[in-house]
Structure 1
Amino acid sequence: MALPLEATVENAGPSRQLLFYTLVLVAFLAASGVPTPLYPLYQASWHFSTPMLTLAFALYMFTLLLALLTTGKLSEYMGRRPVIFIGLAIEIASMLCFLVAHDLTILLVARALQGLATGIATSALGAAIIDTDHRRGPILASVAPLVGMGLGALCSGVLVDLAPYPMRLGFILMTAIFIWQLIGLRGTRESVSPRFGALASLRPTARIPAPVRPTFLRVIPACIASWSLGGFSLSLGPLLARQVSGIDTSMIGGAMVSLLSMMGAVGVWRLRRQATRRILLLSSLLLPLGVSIVLLGVATHSTLTLLIGFAIAGPGFGGGFMGAMRAIMALAPDGGRASLMAVLYVVSYLSASLPAMVAGIATQHFGLEPTVYGYGAYVIGLSLMALVGMLSQRQATE
C-alpha cells in the first residue's frame, strides 16, 4: 500500500527533505519567470504602454523587497514551515489572479502578490535548505533561484508558441505544482523552535557598519551591474528578442532569459571555491564582454549573436552578486549580518527594478534600440568601475 505523501517525505530523511525544499525554491523563481515571455502578448491584447510593462515587473520587485525587509527574520520566530506555508498560499492566490487576468490592473495585482509571496518564502526556504544540510545547502540555495528563473522563462516561452491557451496554461501548471508542494510541506520536519518576538522581527533593519563601508562601496558596482542586466532581461528582454529576430515568437525571449540565468547558475557553481577577488575580477570582465556582444547582436540584428552575448554575460551575472555578497558579508560584525544582508537586498532589487523602469520610459521617447545601447553602456560602465576597484585594492577582498 502506498504511503501518504507526508510520510514519504519525512521517512526519506534529510536528502529527500533537502530536495523538496530546493524544488520549492526552484518553483517560486520559475513562477516569477513565467510572465516574462507573455509581456508582449499582454501588451498587444490590452494595449498598454511599454512603461506600464516595466511597472508590472518593478511592482513584483518592490513587493518582494518589502517582504524581505519585513519578514526576512520571521521564520526564526515562527518556524520555517509556517512561513513557507504562508508564502505558498499567497503564491497560489497570485497564480489564480494571473489565470483570470483580463486587463493591466489584475496583472499588477497578480505581480504584487507574487512578489510578496516570493519575498516571504525565499528567506525561509534558504534557511531551511541550509538547516537541512550545512555542506550542500548554501550552494543549492544560491543556484536554485537562477535555475528556477531560467526554467520558468524558457518553458513559458515554449508553451506560448506551441501549446494551447498561451496566456493561461503556464499558470495552471504552476498552480498544480504549488498545491502539491503545499501538501508535501506537511511531511517535512521543523528545524526551528517557535519563540516570542515575531511581531518585533517585522521591523525593517538595514544598516552598513562603518568598517564595512569602504569594501561595500568598492564592490557594490558589480552587484548593481548584475542585477540591472537581470532586470532588463526579465522586463524588456522579450521585446528586444522579437525586434532583433523579426519573428513573432516567445521562445527566443524565453531562451535569452534562460541563458542568462542558467549560465549564471553555472558561474556560481564553477566559481564557488575561488577567492572572492578572483570571482569579482572574472565577473567584471565577463559581464561587459557579454553585454558588448549583445549590443553587437542588436546592431547587426543577429539573433545568434544576441544569445551568445547573454550566454557569456551569464557567469558574470551570477558571479557579480556572489562575489559582492562574499566580500561584504565576510566583514559583517556579530549580530549585524541580517541588517547588512537587508542592505544588499535593497540595493540588488532596486538595481533590477528602477533602471528597467527608466528604460521603459526611455523607449517611448527614443525607441527600443537606442535605449538598449544606453542601458548597455550603463551596465558596462558599472562593471568596469568594479574592475578598477578590484585592481586598485589587490588584497582587500581575499
Structure 2
Amino acid sequence: MSTAAPSATAARGLQVRHATGFWFVATAFLTLMAFGTVPTPLWPIYQVRDHFGATTVTIAFAVMVVGAASSFLLLGHLSDRLGRRRIIAPALLVGILSAAVLAVWPALPGLIVGRILTGVAIGLMASTATAYLTDLYHEAKPEQLGSPVPGLVATAANLGGLALGPLVAGALAQWAPAPVHTAYIVFGGLMALLLLLVLASPETVDTELTDEARPVRFALRPGGGTAFAAAAAVGFFAFAVMGLFSSLGAIIVRGQLGITSYFVAGLAPFIAFAASAVAQLALGRLTQGVVLKVGTLLFPIGLALTALSLYRPTLWLILTAAALAGAGAGLLFKSAVTQTVIAADPASRAGVLAAFFVVAYFGLGLPSIAFSLVIQHLALRPSMIGFAAVLSVGTVVAVGVALRSNLRSYRNQ
C-alpha cells in the first residue's frame, strides 16, 4: 500500500512531510465532521421560522445519513485504489458546496439538499481519513508500527469535530449576525483553506499497481467476520445516542428548560461529543477489553440520567447525562473502529472502514427518526425510558459478542 522506503537522506525530509501531512489531514477531518453538526443549535431557529415539528427537524438532520451511506457504499473504498488525497480533496470540495447551498438557500428544500451533500462529503472523508492517518503516521514513524496514536487521533478528530460544530455554531448564532448563514460561511472558508493543505500532503497509496494487484473492495482477515459484525453493531448503538443529542438535544433543552440562548442550546450536544473525545484521550491507551467494559458501564448510566433529566429538568443534570452518555459512546466507538481495523485485510482497510461507517451512520439517523415518530403518539418521558433501555440492552449484547470474538486478536497484536 505504501510507497517504497526512500534513501536515508530523503527519508528525513519525507518524515517531516508525512508528519506534517498527518496533522493537516487530522484538522481537515475534524473540520468537516464539525461542519456536519453545525445545524444542531440552529434547529430551534428553523423550527420557529418555518414551523417545523420534531419529526421534520429529525429528518432534516438525518438525511445527512442518506448521503453518507450512499457515499460510503459507492465511493468509500476507492482510496485503496485511487489514493487517499484523490478522495479527501473531493470530500472537502463537496463540503464547500454544501456550505454554499446552506448559506444561500435556508428554506427546507435547500436544507435537505445541503444536508445530503454534507453526508456525501462525510462519507468520502471518514473512512479515507482514518486510513490515511494510519498510513501517514506509519510512514513518518516506521519504528512505531502498530502504535495506537493514529487510531486515537482519528476517533478524536471524528467525535471531537462533531462536538465543536454545535459549540461554534451556537456561539456564532448567539453573537454574530445572520445566525442561519454565518456558521456555514465560516466553515466553508475553513474547508477551502484545508483543501490546499491536504493537496500539499504526501500520497501513501501506490496508484501504479496493475489491475491484478489492486486490493479488493471489502476483504477481512481469516475469521474476522464475527469481529467485524460485532464492531459494526457497537458503532451503530454508540452513534444512536449521538444522533439523539444532535437532532433533538437543542430542542429538548429549549422545550424542557425554556432556555432561549442558542449557545446554551448547543451545549448538550457539544458536551456529549466532547466527552466522547476526552474519554478516548484519557483511556485510549488501555486494552481494548477494558475500554469496551468502561464504555459499556458509562453508556447506560448516561442514558438513564438523560431520561431522569426529563423528570427533573435542570441544566446541570442534562449536561451531566450528556457527558456520561457521550463518554461511554466515545469509548465504544473507538473500540469498534480499532476492532474493524484489526479485522480488515490491510490492503482493503478503507473499504472495510467504509462498510463499518455505513452501519454507524445509520445509527446516527434511524433511531432518532424512530424516536421522533414515537413521541408523536406517546409522552416524551416514557419514550425516553424505552429508548434508553433498547440502546443499553443492544449495546451490552453487541459488546459481549465483540469481547468473545476478539480478545484473542487483541492479545496477539
Pair 1:118-2:122 in alignment: yes
Residue 32 of structure 2: which of 28, 33, 36 is its match?
28
Match of 1:76 in 2: 80
Residue 330 of structure 1: which of 342, 355, 358 is its match?
342
Pair 1:58-2:97 in alignment: no
Pair 1:38-2:76 in alignment: no
d(CA) in 1 for partners of 2:55 and 2:78?
34
Matches within 5 A, 1:289-300: 289-300=301-312
Match of 2:201 in 1: 188
- CA displacement at 1:341 relative to structure 2: 3.5
Does the CA-based 8 Å contact 2:30-2:160 persist in structure 1?
yes
Match of 1:347 in 2: 359
Match of 1:227 in 2: 239
Matches within 5 A, 1:153-302: 153-195=166-208, 211-215=223-227, 222-302=234-314
Aligned residue identity for 2:260 = D
- The aligned length equals 387
Q: Deviations over 1:50-82 (max 9, x none)?
A: 222111222101211211122222223322222
Instruction: State the SS of the aligned residue for 1:34.
Output: coil
Structure 2 residue runs of 5 or longer lacking an equivalent are 1-12, 139-146
TM-score computed with the length of structure 1 as normaliser: 0.87
Does the CA-based 8 Å contact 1:70-1:202 persist in structure 2?
no
Matches within 5 A, 1:62-141: 62-134=66-138, 135=147, 136-141=149-154
User: Structure 1 residues 30, 337: closer, same or farther in 2, change over 3 A?
Assistant: closer
- CA displacement at 1:106 relative to structure 2: 0.8
User: Structure 1 residues 171, 320: closer, same or farther in 2, change over 3 A?
Assistant: same
d(CA) in 2 for partners of 1:217 and 1:186?
34
d(CA) in 1 for partners of 2:69 and 2:406?
33
Tell me whether 187-196 or 23-32 shows the greater mean CA deviation.
Answer: 187-196
Instruction: State the SS of the aligned residue for 1:366.
Output: coil
Does the CA-based 8 Å contact 1:64-1:117 persist in structure 2?
yes
Give identity over the alignment, percent: 26
Does the CA-based 8 Å contact 2:238-2:333 persist in structure 1?
yes
Aligned residue identity for 1:307 = L
Tell me whether 285-294 or 271-280 shows the greater mean CA deviation.
Answer: 271-280
Does the CA-based 8 Å contact 1:222-1:283 persist in structure 2?
no
- CA displacement at 1:349 relative to structure 2: 1.5
Instruction: State the SS of the aligned residue for 2:353.
Output: helix
Tell me whether 12-21 or 262-271 shows the greater mean CA deviation.
Answer: 12-21
Instruction: State the SS of the aligned residue for 1:190.
Output: coil
d(CA) in 1 for partners of 2:123 and 2:152?
19
- CA displacement at 1:326 relative to structure 2: 3.5
Q: Deviations over 1:232-285 (max 9, x none)?
A: 111111111112221112223311111111111122222222222211111111
User: Structure 1 residues 101, 210: closer, same or farther in 2, change over 3 A?
Assistant: same
d(CA) in 2 for partners of 1:98 and 1:86?
18
- CA displacement at 1:317 relative to structure 2: 0.7
Aligned residue identity for 2:179 = P
Tell me whether 251-260 or 130-139 shows the greater mean CA deviation.
Answer: 130-139
- CA displacement at 1:32 relative to structure 2: 0.6
Match of 2:23 in 1: 19
d(CA) in 2 for partners of 1:209 and 1:329?
10
d(CA) in 2 for partners of 1:16 and 1:340?
26
Matches within 5 A, 1:307-386: 307-327=319-339, 329-332=341-344, 340-386=352-398
Q: Deviations over 1:119-171 (max 9, x none)?
A: 11233322332222124333211211111111111111122122211111111
d(CA) in 1 for partners of 2:18 and 2:406?
41
Pair 1:150-2:163 in alignment: yes
Aligned residue identity for 1:88 = L
- CA displacement at 1:98 relative to structure 2: 0.6
- CA displacement at 1:88 relative to structure 2: 1.3
Q: Deviations over 1:179-199 (max 9, x none)?
A: 21223334322223434789x
Q: CA RMSD in A?
A: 3.0
d(CA) in 2 for partners of 1:329 and 1:313?
24
User: Structure 1 residues 124, 216: closer, same or farther in 2, change over 3 A?
Assistant: closer
Does the CA-based 8 Å contact 2:76-2:351 persist in structure 1?
no
Match of 1:5 in 2: none
d(CA) in 2 for partners of 1:369 and 1:340?
38
- CA displacement at 1:371 relative to structure 2: 3.0
Does the CA-based 8 Å contact 2:245-2:269 persist in structure 1?
yes
- CA displacement at 1:229 relative to structure 2: 0.3
d(CA) in 2 for partners of 1:137 and 1:387?
23
User: Structure 1 residues 73, 169: closer, same or farther in 2, change over 3 A?
Assistant: same
- CA displacement at 1:95 relative to structure 2: 0.3
